[in-house]
Amino acid sequence: MNVEEIKGRLADRSATVAVIGQGYVGLSVALAAAKAGLRVIGIDTNRSLIEGLADGRLVVAGVREDAFAEGIATGRMTFTTQPDGIGAADIVLLCVPTPVRDHNPDLSAVEEAGLTVGEYLSPGALVILESTTYPGTTEQVLCPQIEKGGLAAGVDFLLAYSAERIDPGNTAFTFADIPRVVGGIDPASSAVAQAFYALLVDVVHPVSSCRAAEMAKLLENTYRMVNIALVNELAMVCSDQGISPWEVIDAAATKPFGFERFLPGPGVGGHCIPIDPTYLTWQSRRDTGRPYRLVELANDINAEMPGYVVSRVAEILNEESRAVKGSKILALGVTYKPDVGDLRESAAVQVIRRLVRQDAQVTFHDPFIDEVEVDGVILHGSELTDELIADADLVAVLTPHSAFDLDHVVEVAGTVFDARNAIGAAPGVVVL
């Protein structure tokens, strides 16, 4: 392989990048590569998704509209369901789902993508896995699949790992602002991967191996998950003692060192925090037989939160001589985080599911979501009218999108339960 040749094509922007998977991860990096001056081929098996992108429509939740407009405007992007474009690529990125099923990692999408890459890959190309996964996946799972196509890693093609670090809905950081951690199977792979990402982001941080890069991503999200569990349990303890957890967190956050502010809520959701730590605990038990006790405990605490929210709702209704059964409950926000149209692992949906199972009459409003599936039944979103708000026995603020006029909701509603402290202490409002 001529490493300098591919680095030269990156330097003069004549390189081609193929991105397998056009969800918010794959599309975001594809847009960044096009903006950097590279030719980009976006590949996905979802035909309707590809058709929408090819028509210039942003049909992927979590991708910044300005980034999409800039990337499309370059004219350097094409979208297809056909994988043969891989053969023309100098860089091939794998941005495919890595979910957890029955508490075990499901790497079937990585394996299938690896086989496809191996079938079309040209000698000398660099393959980079961006999907979050456990240490060893790049070398032990992806590499053998690619090599079934006849090329050998480190001899005929380069291989590296660099996890995405996008925070959907966060407008404070652009794609370029977020440093990239890169690890390759050998120095050549790492060097070319660094050269590629240096065109896309301001800072590239190399590590010694794919495994180190894979572990770094798990640490990032496990750190968040454990600290969220800490404040979630704090919220329960404070409630029992008649103390506001929000006041306590605000007070602790005045310390200028040694404390980072995390906030409680109805649970954790999304594609990362509820999922990634499971890879860590699963691998530890598989490879060493040792439980990762802190992570497992934190996961259990966070999993309790939807039930805890429902118990708080029941307490509030009980104070008004009402039962959950038969009560009209309006849920505001069902996505996993504010201002993002993503339902994956949404704690708000789990809260709604538990309320429905207790025979509450639940309606919801979310500007991003039209319908939610609950135990096989489709709940359709409702228009947020004053009549809907006033008719509810309780309004539960579960995901406070910025589009909500919560002050007006408080004026019209009888009782409001604020699971995110989006409103704060006010007459008629009970805060988690």
Q: Which of 42, 32, 34, 37 is nearest to 14 (CA)?
A: 37
Secondary structure (DSSP) of 60-126: STTS-HHHHHHHHHTS-EEEES-GGGGGG-SEEEE-----EETTEE--HHHHHHHHHHHHHPPTT-E
Q: Which residue has the tokens 């990032």?
A: 220
CA–CA separation, 45 and 30 (whole Å):
16
Q: Are 373 and 399 in contact (CB under 8 A)?
A: no
Distance CA 192, CA 213 (A): 15
Tell me the C-alpha distance between 316 and 23, whole Å: 40
Residues annotated as catalytic are 272
Residue burial 18-54, b: 16+ Cβ < 10 Å; e: rest: bbbbbbbbbbbbbbbbbbbebbbbbbbbeeebbebbe
